[in-house]
C-alpha cells in the first residue's frame, strides 16, 4: 500500500513567507542607526586625520597653517576664511605630503563633508565636520568656543560657510 504524500498547503507557505519578511524588515530597520553611527565615527576620524596633516604642515612651515592660495598676511589676524575640503581643493595640494589621500565623506553631497577654517595670518585653523547623522550628543560646538569657530558660526567667514556645523577638531 502506497502512503499518501504530504506537502505544505498554500496557506502554510504564505504564513512562513510572511513571518520571514517581517523578521527581515525588523533586521533592516534596526541596522539603520548602526550604519549612521559608523559613518559619524568615520567622519570624526577623517577630521582627525586632516588635523594631523595640518599640524605637520604647521610644524614644517614656521608655525603657520595653510592659507589657501594666498600667502599668510599678518595684518589679517581678525579675518577668517573657509573652504570645503576635497581632493581638488587648494588645501589638498598643500597637505598631500602629510596624508596619503584627502578623506571624502561616506555619503557626500552638499550637506555633508569637511570645512577648513583658518585665520588670514595662518596662526589659527580648525577642521569642521558639517553634519553628523546620529552622534548629536557628541556635537561639540556649544558653550565656550574658540574665536575662529564663533566667527564661522556667526557667518563672519569669507568663503563657503555653513550655519550649523556640528563638530570641530583642532589640536
> Do 168 and 149 contact (CB within 8 A), yes or no?
yes
**Residue at 159 is within a domain:** yes
Digit-coded pLDDT (tens) for 72-106: 777 777 777 878 888 888 888 889 899 988 899 88
Tell me, what DSSP letter sits at residue 97? T
Q: How far is CA 9 from CA 4, 5, 6, 14, in A?
A: 14, 12, 9, 9
What is the residue range of 104's domain?
Answer: 33-169
**Residue at 21 is within a domain:** no
Span 142-160, average pLDDT:
54
**Residue at 25 is within a domain:** no
Instruction: Tell me the three cell numbers of residue 156.
Output: 563672519
**Residue at 4 is within a domain:** no
Residue 153, CA atoms < 13 Å, CB-side half-sphere: 19
- pLDDT for res 29: 81
**Residue at 116 is within a domain:** yes
Tell me which H or E stretch contains 118.
strand 114-119
**Residue 138, pLDDT above cutoff 60:** no
How many domains is the chain partitioned into structurally? 1
- Better-scored residue on pLDDT, 29 or 151: 29
**Residue at 3 is within a domain:** no
**Residue 107, pLDDT above cutoff 80:** yes
Amino acid at each position: 500500500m502506497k502512503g499518501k504524500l504530504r506537502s505544505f498547503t498554500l496557506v502554510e507557505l504564505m504564513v512562513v513567507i510572511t513571518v520571514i519578511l517581517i523578521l527581515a524588515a525588523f533586521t533592516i530597520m534596526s541596522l539603520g542607526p548602526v550604519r549612521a553611527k559608523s559613518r559619524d565615527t568615520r567622519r570624526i576620524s577623517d577630521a582627525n586625520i586632516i588635523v594631523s596633516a595640518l599640524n605637520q604642515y604647521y610644524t614644517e612651515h614656521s608655525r603657520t597653517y595653510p592659507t589657501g592660495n594666498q600667502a599668510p598676511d599678518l595684518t589679517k589676524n581678525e579675518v577668517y576664511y573657509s573652504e570645503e575640503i576635497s581632493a581638488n581643493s587648494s588645501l589638498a595640494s598643500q597637505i598631500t605630503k602629510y596624508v596619503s589621500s584627502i578623506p571624502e565623506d561616506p555619503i557626500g553631497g552638499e550637506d555633508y563633508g569637511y570645512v577648513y577654517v583658518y585665520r588670514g595670518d595662518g596662526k589659527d585653523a580648525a577642521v569642521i565636520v558639517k553634519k553628523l547623522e546620529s552622534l548629536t550628543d557628541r556635537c561639540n560646538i556649544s558653550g565656550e568656543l574658540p574665536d575662529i569657530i564663533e566667527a564661522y558660526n556667526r557667518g563672519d567667514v569669507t568663503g563657503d560657510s555653513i550655519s550649523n556645523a556640528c563638530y570641530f577638531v583642532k589640536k
